[in-house]
């Protein structure tokens, strides 16, 4: 399934109070990489931007007047995300706004599969801050250029966070690419080549232990490696 990282910026917090989307961005992932395909628009919200929201993303209505309206980009947006799993940080917020905009146009709500990275982060790191900035710091992702929120920049950062949060979860080779399976051929008469064994360093052992801890938390205690180590 295609995966798309998505984010929005809005005039305020509550679509049911008439707030609208002012920026929408979506980038496509293929395997464990960001592709060149993306969707990004600034939008005229047709209303004022709350002061609190403007302090977060830096936009006012005057800066957005004359831009495309959501109605102008709805068809191309729906085509871009069609059939894809959406990866969103705090998904109920963005999905609420997108579905509100679609409702205003008389269109059905999105029925895509959605992965909420905030929910996953809270399960993996209980009791810790799990904002996008906090996760960038935790996974050593450079976000020093993020002085204000912006949908396109945030999708790029979230993609890196997603890769970090899910490393090793999809396959043992670190990506989603299928592994070619070939029949095993055993030659019991052949001499075995000598195998060079490299012992891990203390730093590598510590990193391995942290990786297993992350996997164990993400799988809610079902990490096979930890079970075997304890046996």
Beta bridge partners of 208: none
Q: How far apart are CA 160 and CA 115, in angstroms?
A: 15
Element (H, E) at 211: helix 202-218
Q: How far apart are CA 194 and CA 200, in angstroms?
A: 19
Neighbour count for residue 165 (Cβ, 10 Å): 19
Backbone angles phi, psi at 8, to 5 degrees: -135, 160
Q: How far apart are CA 82 and CA 104, in angstroms?
A: 20
Asked if 197 contacts 104 with a C-beta cutoff of 8 angstroms, the reply is no
Task: Return the ∠ at Cα 145 (arms to 138 and 121), rounded to 5°.
Answer: 25
Catalytic (active site) residue 40: no
What Rg do the C-alpha atoms of the chain give, in angstroms? 22
Single out the catalytic residue among 41, 57, 89, 149.
149
Residues shown for the chain: 231
Active site residues: 149
């Amino acid at each position: 399934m295609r995966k798309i990282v998505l984010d929005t910026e809005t005039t305020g917090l509550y679509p049911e109070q008439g707030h609208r989307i002012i920026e929408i961005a979506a980038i496509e992932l293929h395997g464990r990489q960001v592709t060149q395909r993306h969707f990004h628009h600034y939008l005229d919200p047709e209303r004022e931007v709350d002061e609190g929201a403007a302090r977060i993303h830096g936009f006012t209505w005057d800066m957005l007047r004359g831009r495309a309206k959501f109605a102008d980009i709805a068809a191309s947006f729906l085509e871009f995300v069609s059939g894809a799993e959406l990866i969103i940080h705090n998904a109920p917020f963005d999905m609420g706004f997108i579905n509100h905009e679609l409702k205003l146009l008389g269109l059905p709500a999105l029925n895509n599969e959605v992965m909420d990275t905030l929910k996953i982060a809270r399960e993996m790191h209980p009791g810790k801050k799990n904002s996008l900035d906090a996760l960038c710091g935790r996974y050593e992702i450079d976000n020093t250029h993020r002085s204000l929120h912006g949908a396109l920049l945030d999708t790029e950062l979230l993609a890196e966070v997603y890769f970090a949060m899910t490393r090793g979860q999809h396959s043992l080779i670190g990506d989603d690419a299928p592994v070619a399976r070939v029949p095993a051929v055993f030659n019991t008469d052949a001499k075995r080549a000598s195998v060079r064994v490299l012992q891990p360093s203390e730093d590598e052992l510590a990193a391995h232990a942290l990786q297993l801890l992350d996997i164990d938390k993400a799988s809610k205690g079902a990490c096979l490696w930890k079970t075997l180590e304890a046996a």
